[in-house]
Structure 1
Amino acid sequence: MKHLQTGQFHGQTNRTIALEGITLTDTEYTLDKVDWHYHENAYFTFILQGKVIEGNKKEVYNCNAGSLLFHNWQEPHYNIKPPGFTRGFHIELTHQWINDIDFSLDKLMGSLNISNPALKLILYKIFIESKTDDITAPLGVQTLLLQLLSQMERDNESTIYKNPTWVGQLKELLHDTFAEQWSLNELSAELGIHPVHLSRDFSKYFHCNIGEYIRKLKVEKSLSLLSQKNKSLADVAFECGFADQSHFGRCFKAINGINALEYRKNVLN
């Protein structure tokens, strides 16, 4: 089984940024299939454009633009690339860097397909920082990475200690229907719990209010659609359930700090 060193990924590497203990790699997937292999470092894979299928010892992930995976170090996996252009952004973390921040990867074993929109939005911000020619960019990347790992640790703990059943049901419901217009009473009826209970306890498990969470889901979905050159901003706004392009633009900038056109330029360049 092939063992890949720091900065090594199958395909064409467009750009590599080496920070202290962190390596950022922008890679085009050029091989139809990559057999079982593993990497010496723990790392994130974020699909910027296209599609890829990834399999590990337990699961197979069908990844589209916007998918985020985490692999612990030396975790075996394989890749299959469907026809078309596919590009990924990778963040590798050395053992020394992880030790220096006093973080234990034992809590994040194996490979993870991350669905939390807040984590994906942090990853997009790291990608934008990597495109910034600024002396503060390394600090920005490290700060965002620490936020990302801290949130992953909290999410992992909530899984271990088991959230109420309605939390998982609501997460699945909102991820599948975020473009629909829900009322509090409708959501409560769907879950079989009281509206006061839902509104009071939502932030305890999702770390924001319901409206903020749905907006994050919409914006997170828009980021993957913006990587498709044939879609206009109006098309993206409609598919993500925004009232109009103007509303989409305001929400996008409020969450990401840049406007949608600027983001599209960064991803496609």
Structure 2
Amino acid sequence: MVLKRARTDFWGSGPNGRQAGGFSFHVLTANAPEDEVRRHTHDEAHFVLVLAGGYMSSASGAPLVSDTPVLIYNPPGTTHRDRFHAGRGRFLAISGGTGAEAAARCMRDPYAYRLACDIADRIDAATAFGLEARALQLHGIALPLSSDEARTTAHPPAWLSRAVEMIFTCDLPELSVGSVAAEVGVHPVHLARVFRRFLGCAPGDYLRGRRLERAAAMLGRGVASLADVAHSAGFADQAHLTRAFRSRLDITPAQWRRSRHVARIQDAGADVRQGPAEPF
């Protein structure tokens, strides 16, 4: 049986949220271990902005576990079991609004991400009008027919979306920030400045996070050894991969793979601790 969740009913705790123009806004801390989160449905549309922690979502385009800026749009009627790895995380939830029936998806539009971050940063200080306006803009971007109306002159340059898409989809280990900047036709320093303005992180951080996400997905499928996963995901070696997992998810790659109920694969030194410095 699928559990129905009310508008303000999330697996998270925090101060009372805000209500504005048919929308509710909450910044919450995850409060349930991932195995306690049940499959559930939401009648209304909602957005989830991940502020901290490894979010695991079934939304189209979402990584198996997040380590890069993540904004999820769930249309009305979404049924899922989205949750945080180890039950640890922090997120903004925006509920309300209508929309066409469609699949839940990960939104990689930098302008949408910046709007959601503005709401999280100013949830207590913003006027009700300002909160409602930003929520409507988010819906405008999520719904293709009204996206042009939702944008303002503050939206990022077109090349930023291309850069984000390039980092998100490219599986070449040799991909670098410099090569991304060259591909979209801007100087790396300008790329870094605009990236941080709209996504809140450096392009190198995003690239490292995406590599960890790719490695986590490969480990979850159980198709390769740790050494092969490290190489395919763009890490210097297996030790580099292990350090990244420990730093970001507080778990080793081998433990992550076992937690996904994948059969053991013979690895050389699955918990290696030493290795060269990260390349970025």
- Alpha-carbon distance in structure 1 between the residues aligned to 2:110 and 2:46: 18
- Would the alpha carbon gap of residues 56 and 149 (structure 1) be closer, same or farther in structure 2, given more than 3 Å must change? closer
Measured after TM superposition, the shift of residue 58 of structure 1 is 9.5
Match of 2:13 in 1: 12
* Structure 1 match to 2:118: 125
Paired-residue identity, %: 13
1:94-243 correspondence to structure 2 within 5 Å: 94=97, 98=98, 105-106=99-100, 109-132=102-125, 137-154=127-144, 171-173=164-166, 180-181=177-178, 186-187=182-183, 215-222=193-200, 239=205
Structure 2: how far apart are the matches of 1:171 and 1:127? 22
Which residue in the other structure is 2:242 paired with?
none
Distance 1:179 1:152, change over 3 A: farther
Task: Name the CA shift for 1:142/1:179 in 2 (closer, same or farther; >3 Å).
Answer: farther
Q: In the superposition, relative to structure 1, how do residues 142 and 31 fare at CA in structure 2: closer, same or farther (>3 Å)?
A: same
1:44 equivalent to 2:40? Answer no
Letter in 2 for 1:81: F
Alpha-carbon distance in 2 for matches of 1:67, 1:57: 12
Q: Is the 8 A contact 1:50 1:65 kept in 2?
A: no
Give the corresponding residue for 2:219: none
User: By how many angstroms is 1:170 displaced?
Assistant: 5.6
Residue 167 to residue 154, structure 1, CA distance change in 2 (3 Å): farther
Higher strand share: 1
RMSD, aligned α-carbons = 4.1
Deviation, structure 1 residue 77:
0.4
Contact 1:221 1:240 in 2 (8 A): no
Deviation at 1:219, TM superposition (A): 3.4
Please, what TM-score do these two structures have when normalized by structure 2?
0.54
Q: Which protein has the bigger helix share?
A: 1
Q: Secondary structure at the match of 2:7?
A: coil
How far residue 56 of structure 1 moved from its aligned partner, in angstroms, is 5.6
**Aligned residue type for 1:140:** G
Unaligned runs of 5+ in 2: 149-158, 208-280
Q: Secondary structure, in 3 states, of the residue corresponding to 2:165?
A: helix
Is this contact kept in 2: 1:178–1:218, CA < 8 A? no
CA contact (8 A) 1:48 1:86 kept: yes
| 1:69 matched to 2:65 | no
Consecutive unaligned residues in structure 1, runs of 5 or more: 99-104, 159-165, 189-197, 200-209, 224-235, 242-269
- Aligned amino acid, residue 84 of structure 2: K
Deviation of the 1:73 alpha carbon: 1.4
- Contact 2:71 2:108 (8 Å CA) reproduced: yes
SS in 2 for 1:130: coil
Superposed CA deviations along residues 109-129 of structure 1, whole A, max 9, x for unmatched, are: 120101111110011112223
How far off is 1:92 after superposition? 0.5
Indicate conservation of the 8 Å contact 1:44/1:71, yes or no.
yes
Counterpart contact for 2:28–2:90, Cα < 8 Å: yes
Separation of aligned partners in 1, 2:71 and 2:200: 15
Counterpart-to-counterpart distance in 2, 1:173 and 1:18: 37
TM score, norm. by length of structure 1: 0.56
Question: 1:107-153, CA deviations, whole angstroms, 9 ceiling, x for partnerless residues?
Answer: x6120101111110011112223121x6xx11111222232222333
Residue 162 of structure 1 corresponds to none
Q: Secondary structure in 2 aligned to 1:126?
A: helix
| Preserved contact between residue 56 and residue 78 of structure 1 (Cα < 8 Å) | no
- Number of positions where the alignment pairs a residue of Structure 1 with one of Structure 2: 190
Report the CA distance between 1:25 and its aligned residue: 1.5
Q: Per-residue CA shift, 1:50-102, capped at 9, x if unaligned?
A: 112123699764234631001011211003432373011100014xxx4xxxx
Partner of 1:2: 3
* Counterpart for residue 21 of structure 1: 22
Moved more, 49-58 or 25-34: 49-58
